[in-house]
């Protein structure tokens, strides 16, 4: 970092917003036992989702981005979570955790489980402090309501969704009235822009990608972070070398191989994502002399596997259509998974 930067840091051009549990961390809290174990885990015992740390490191390497983490984990876990991120070499700018003790003391029991009333205002407040031209990429998972919240946030900032709809959504999500008013107020203060370029949903529960079709092509469900890296390369956030580094971490730490990687690539092609050119660039980069690539040798096999998977599909599908999201028809997605009214 230059002296000028230290005195007057460059404003971020890109903002990467991440959830933690089931997006960055492999967390299990479906049972009370798992919940207790997760709460008691030390930083070095926590496991990151394969490839997540490498992807963040590569996204941050250009130095003109911010990493903002918003998680439903309790504030009491701040130290251990910060230490885990530090151990993984992940530097963050914001780490917002949920103050459930405060909710409990104030008797706001609906807020204990609610995600919309917690995450949406946090995202909006963070956006209010960001440069209007900064682009955003959001990372969540399929465990709760990330797809809904992130999409709503993106459309609120872009003013693609009106006040009455937002109000109805927040009421359906059982957000307290004073919190609704706060959301509306922060929203008003944000200049209109269309910063959210991509939303990635990590399919921790193996929800079918088609279940997210309502959210349009901006949202990409992913089975692993190699898929996210490929799309981010197509979007201009990463270059081939950086994607390869994510690939290397997956191979070295999580047993990925050319079959699982080439199948992952083909899955995106089948879903109509425009990554055919990316696959080609990646194949070319694989032929480079970098020592790092030794771990993913034999290179000809990888190139052949990628090419074969792409070629075996026949004609490419039509690009996915873009249309406005009907949030009122998706209200169920905004409710906690265990909510009695939730039908999906």
Partner 1 sequence: MSEQRPVTIAFDVMGGDHGPIEVVKGAAQLTLDAPNVHALLVGDRTLIDEALSQVKHTAERIAVHHAPDFVAMHEKPAVALDARPRCSVQVAAELVRDGEADGMVSAGNTGAGVLACARTFKLIPGIRRAALATVYPTMVGHGDKNDPFSLILDVGATVDASADDLVAFAVMGAAYARIISKNMDPAVALLSNGTEASKGPARVVEAHQTLATIKGMRVIGNVEGVDIPKGTADVVVCDGFVGNVCLKMLEGVSETVMGLAKYAYKEKLLWRAGLAMLSSGIERIKEVTDWEQYGGAPILGFDKLFIKAHGRSKSRAITNAGKVAAKAVKSELAKAIQSSLPS
**Separation of CA 219 from chain center:** 10
Contact 77, 39 (CB under 8 A): yes
Contacts by residues 295-300 (CB-CB < 8 Å, ≥ 24 positions apart): 295/248, 295/251, 295/252, 296/244, 296/247, 296/248, 296/251
- The sheet that has 196-202: what strands, in order across it? 94-98, 65-74, 14-18, 135-141, 196-202, 219-222
| Shortest separation between residue 249's beta carbon and partner 1, angstroms | 13
Instruction: Decide whether 65 or 264 has the Cβ nearer to partner 1.
Output: 264
Binder to partner 1 among 7, 32, 40, 210 (CB under 8 A)? 210
Q: Which of 264, 266, 281 is nearest to 222 (CA)?
A: 264
Residue 314 touching partner 1 (CB under 8 A):
yes
Nearer CB in complex with partner 1: 50/114 = 50
In this structure, what DSSP letter does residue 48 have?
A: B
Q: Can you tell me which of 26, 207, 239, 280 binds partner 1, judged by CB under 8 A?
A: 207
Cβ nearer to partner 1, comparing 97 with 286: 286
**Min separation Cβ 146 and partner 1, Å:** 19
Query: 119 is written with which tokens?
Result: 């995450």
Q: Does 264 bind partner 1 (CB under 8 A)?
A: yes
Q: Under the criterion CB under 8 A, does residue 309 sit at the interface with partner 1?
A: yes
Give the shortest CB-207-to-partner 1 separation in angstroms: 8
Instruction: Please identify, using beta-carbon distances, which residue of 45 and 301 lies nearer to partner 1.
Output: 301
Q: Which stretch binds partner 1 (CB under 8 A): 10-18, 74-82, 90-98, 312-320?
A: 312-320
Site string for partner 1, 234-253 (x = CB under 8 A): -----------------x--
Is 263 one of the binding residues for partner 1 (CB under 8 A)?
A: yes
The length of the chain is: 344
Helix or strand or coil: residue 269?
Answer: helix
Angle at CA of residue 61, ends 59 and 62, nearest 5°: 95
Contacting residues toward partner 1, per CB under 8 A: 206-210, 223-224, 227, 251, 255-260, 262-264, 266-267, 270-271, 295-298, 301-302, 308-309, 312-314, 317
């Amino acid at each position: 970092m230059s002296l000028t930067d230290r005195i007057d840091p460059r404003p971020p051009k890109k903002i990467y917003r991440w959830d933690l549990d089931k997006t960055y961390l492999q967390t299990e809290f479906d049972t009370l036992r798992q919940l207790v174990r997760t709460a008691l885990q030390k930083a070095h015992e926590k496991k990151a989702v394969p490839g997540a740390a490498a992807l963040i490191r590569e996204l941050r390497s250009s130095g003109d981005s911010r990493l903002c983490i918003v998680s439903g984990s309790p504030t009491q876990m701040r130290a251990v979570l910060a230490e885990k991120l530090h151990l993984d070499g992940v530097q963050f700018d914001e780490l917002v955790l949920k103050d459930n003790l405060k909710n409990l003391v104030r008797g706001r029991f609906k807020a204990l489980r609610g995600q919309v009333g917690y995450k949406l205002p946090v995202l909006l407040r963070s956006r209010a402090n960001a440069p209007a031209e900064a682009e955003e990429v959001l990372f969540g998972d399929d465990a709760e309501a990330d797809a809904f919240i992130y999409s709503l946030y993106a459309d609120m900032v872009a003013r693609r969704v009106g006040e009455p709809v937002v109000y109805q959504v927040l009421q359906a999500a059982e957000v307290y009235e004073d919190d609704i008013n706060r959301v509306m107020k922060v929203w008003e203060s944000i200049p209109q822009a269309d910063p959210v370029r991509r939303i990635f949903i990590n399919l921790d529960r193996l929800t079918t990608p088609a279940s997210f079709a309502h959210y349009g092509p901006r949202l990409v469900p992913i089975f692993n972070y190699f898929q996210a890296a490929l799309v981010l390369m197509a979007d201009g956030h990463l270059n081939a070398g950086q994607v390869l580094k994510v690939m290397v971490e997956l191979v070295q730490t999580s047993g990925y191989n050319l079959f699982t990687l080439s199948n992952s690539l083909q899955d995106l092609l089948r879903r109509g994502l425009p990554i055919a050119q990316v696959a080609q660039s990646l194949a070319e980069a694989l032929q480079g002399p970098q020592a790092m690539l030794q771990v993913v040798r034999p290179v000809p096999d990888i190139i052949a596997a990628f090419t074969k998977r792409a070629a075996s599909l026949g004609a490419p599908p039509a690009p996915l259509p873009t249309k406005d999201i009907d949030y009122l028809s998706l209200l169920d997605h905004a409710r906690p998974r265990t909510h009695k009214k939730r039908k999906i």
